[in-house]
Amino acid sequence: MATKHEQILSFIESIPIGSKLSVRLIAKELNVSEGTAYRAIKEAENTGLVTTIQRVGTIRIETKKEENIENLTFEEILKIIDGELLGGKDGLNKTLNKFIIGAMTEDAMLRYITEESLMIIGNRESAQRLSLENGAAVLITGGFRADPNIIALSDQLGLPIMTTSYDTFTVGSMINRAMTDQLIKKEIMLIESIYTRLKKTHYLSVNDTIYDYRIANQSSQHTRFPVVGPNNRLVGIVTAKDIIGKEDTVSIKRVMTKEPAYTTTHMSVASISHTMIWDGLEVMPVVSDEMKLLGIVSRQDIMKAMQTQQRQPQTGETIADQINQLIKEVEEEAYTFNVTPQMTNGTGTISFGVLSEIINETTHLTLSNQNKRNLVVEQIQLHYLNLIQLGSDLVIRPKIFDKSRRSARLDIEVFSESGLAAKALVVCQLFQKQ
């Protein structure tokens, strides 16, 4: 029998597209509490069944199918930026390898243009022509149109020329997000891709006894078992230490740990690895949004996935990749970085996001080189003290001031030609490579 939560979601799915709904309407229609109705509406919003518009209310919308873009084509880019194709339709199926922001002279552009790259540029006709002639598609920002001669050239070469109303920085961020989310699989590995399904593992019921635990333990590789109640809902977990000195006839319900740590299928492997390693968990239950047990994920599954993740080749070059390539170690605990045009915002100074990524990458380099351990940055407190201009040569000096087996804190200073330009406090978690 479906739970009230599931009944409400089914009701929402049956509502015609474009209809308005509210907590009060659902509570009255299905005879449930307003709290239950509210939680179901939030779940429906998370899954794309409804959307909430300010001063309008909650509206039933058409569910968008999740697309797995293996190759980011220019046609996909056109959709992402809400753009308009001006010419070069025959090249829409070509794959984007990288994008370039044209905030530079034409002579400097030639160093960055490659075939099947995308030049993001404003209303500069000669630069648009130069890009097309050297194999790059063109995206014109700010809502500008292209000259008919440029459009004819794009049709002749089979290279798309597009326009969008967004500004250059916004477009670059949108494309970078698409490359990160859709192309770099190692950055978005989720629990759903690695956990062990229920039918392939062991679990116990509140009606079972310690004897049932001992039987399950004989054919399992771990000693922690989820415990379920009615409707297969997770209610606890039982471990080897819970049954020490207990008789076989004792109920599992009496010895189990209630409200155990758990994960859902849409949580990331990286985030769950923190919890498992930090708390010393051998196994963690995997549940649905209604708390129904779906399976388990073990520490071995997590470590294997993260090792595979690190070995997996990248299929696209993002801003993070470019930043990593530009960071050079010049001496012990000191790194340099040159600010290129792609790393700046509209004022010609370094983007705050780029500066944060430099801090992040420097932290990884420092701790990985010293400890040969995996790490995840948890928090960065960044203070931008002086403007960092295009072309600046930065010196980054990280200093570890607190470190334990499981965590580390660093003080990182960034110097430009004018002196101290930024300062950051970084907190991260460490875990041993397997």
Q: Based on the domain organization, do 271 and 198 belong to the same domain?
A: yes
Segment 35-56 mean pLDDT: 76
Residue 259: what pLDDT? 87
- The span from the CA of 296 to the CA of 195, in Å, is 6
- The span from the CA of 58 to the CA of 106, in Å, is 49
Which of 423, 341, 412 has the alpha carbon at shortest distance from 168?
Answer: 341
User: What is the tens place of the pLDDT at every residue in 286-320?
Assistant: 999 889 999 999 888 887 776 555 444 444 455 66
User: What is the tens place of the pLDDT at every residue in 134-190?
Assistant: 999 999 998 899 999 999 999 999 999 999 988 777 787 777 766 665 544 444 578
- Among 308, 336, 358, the domain-final residue is 308
pLDDT for 68 beyond 50 = no
Which of 402, 397, 357 has the alpha carbon at shortest distance from 377?
Answer: 357
- The span from the CA of 184 to the CA of 70, in Å, is 9
Whether residue 69 lies inside any domain: the answer is no
Residue 22: what pLDDT? 87
Q: Which of 47-61, 210-224, 306-320 is most confident?
A: 210-224
- State what percent of residues in the chain have pLDDT above 70: 86
Q: Based on the domain organization, do 47 and 83 belong to the same domain?
A: no
Whether residue 401 lies inside any domain: the answer is yes
- The span from the CA of 136 to the CA of 159, in Å, is 7
Q: Based on the domain organization, do 294 and 325 belong to the same domain?
A: no
- Judging by DSSP bridges, how do beta strands 419-431 and 50-53 pair with one another? unpaired
Mean pLDDT, the chain, rounded, equals 83
Q: Based on the domain organization, do 219 and 272 belong to the same domain?
A: yes
**Token pair 């990160």 is at which residue?**
180
Q: What would the two tokens of residue 27 be?
A: 């509570």
If one counts the domains in the chain, the total is: 4
Burial class (CB in 10 A: 0-12, 13-18, 19+), 257: middle
Lowest mean pLDDT among 137-146, 186-195, 233-242: 186-195
Residue 153: what pLDDT? 94
Domain ranges, residue 47 = 4-60
Q: Based on the domain organization, do 261 and 337 belong to the same domain?
A: no
Whether residue 39 lies inside any domain: the answer is yes
- DSSP-derived letter for residue 181 is I
Global pTM reads: 0.39
Q: Based on the domain organization, do 214 and 271 belong to the same domain?
A: yes
Q: Based on the domain organization, do 223 and 332 belong to the same domain?
A: no
Lowest mean pLDDT among 51-65, 126-140, 188-202, 333-347: 51-65
- Among 129, 157, 184, the domain-final residue is 184
Q: Based on the domain organization, do 138 and 221 belong to the same domain?
A: no
Q: Where are the alpha helices (DSSP H) in 31-70?
A: 34-46
Whether residue 178 lies inside any domain: the answer is yes
Cβ atoms 26, 33 nearer than 8 A? no
Which of 157, 163, 85 has the alpha carbon at shortest distance from 115?
Answer: 157
Residue 12's CATH number: 1.10.10.10
Q: Based on the domain organization, do 157 and 139 belong to the same domain?
A: yes
Whether residue 419 lies inside any domain: the answer is yes
- Among 163, 184, 205, the domain-final residue is 184
Cβ atoms 176, 206 nearer than 8 A? no
Integer-rounded Cα Rg, in Å, for the chain is 27
Whether residue 40 lies inside any domain: the answer is yes
- The span from the CA of 50 to the CA of 27, in Å, is 17
Residue 334's CATH number: 3.10.129.10
